[in-house]
A = this chain, B = another copy of it.
Amino acid sequence: MATAPEGTGRQRDPERTRAEILDEATSEFADRGFAGARVDEIAARTRTTKRMLYYYFGSKQGLYLAVLERAYVGIRALERDLEVAHLNPAKAVRAVAELTFDHHEAHPDFIRLVAIENIHHAEHLRTSPVLSGLAGPAVDVLDGILARGREAGLFRDDADALDVHMMISAFCVFRLSNRHTFAAIFGRDLLEPVRREHYRRMVGDLVVEYLTAHVGHS
């Protein structure tokens, strides 16, 4: 039986080596894109050599895919565990919006990887079995909230869960992914801490006001 490899006692530790490679690869890919990332550079930043990188992941593309998969799994777990049944529909969508807002802000590398993957027409994402069928949680939660809101006569009925998810993502993603060109042109850093609460309230307001607009009127 294998004694669990813990701490720093071992000289050989595949788990740790793998994780270390993934960590450095994540930051290199997020920083320079797929083509711009350098395999030698990733290897140099770990305690191992380039050889190990190919030993575990086969190719640059294989490593990139592994990085992408690990990054995507995180956010879905969060969404799945969000508990909103006890909130009224308006507060519930706001909670979803703020969860997205907080997660994206806390994981800029994830956002960058998504941007990079889009430049490549999501060709890696599309062919990864791990990443197919990730849609579940986020959409289901929103679907439930919208249904409740419509039944109560609070929400408009011409927007579905995917539309709302898209609205929220658009706002939260843009704030990170377009931060640099926005700052360069308009001179405002969208991530400045002083403005954080303002924008956090803004996503919530945005989606709630949109959903409750004119319901009951004309």
Contact = CB atoms under 8 A, between A and B. Distances in A.
Interface residues of A, number: 54
Given A170-B171, A171-B167, A187 B135 contact: yes
A66 to B, nearest CB: 17
Interface centre among A116, A134, A165, A184 (most CB of B within 10 A): A184
Interface string A180-218: 111111111010000000100010011001100100000
A195 to B, nearest CB: 9
Interface in A144-163: 158-159, 162-163
Contacts of A162: 186, 188
A122 B174 contact: no
Contact of A119 (B116, B183, B187, B188): B116
A20 interface: no
Given A170-B171, A185-B131, A119 B33 contact: yes
Contacts of A135: 185-187
Given A135-B186, A170-B175, 5 more contacts: A115-B178, A118-B179, A169-B178, A206-B206, A206-B210
B115 A118 contact: yes
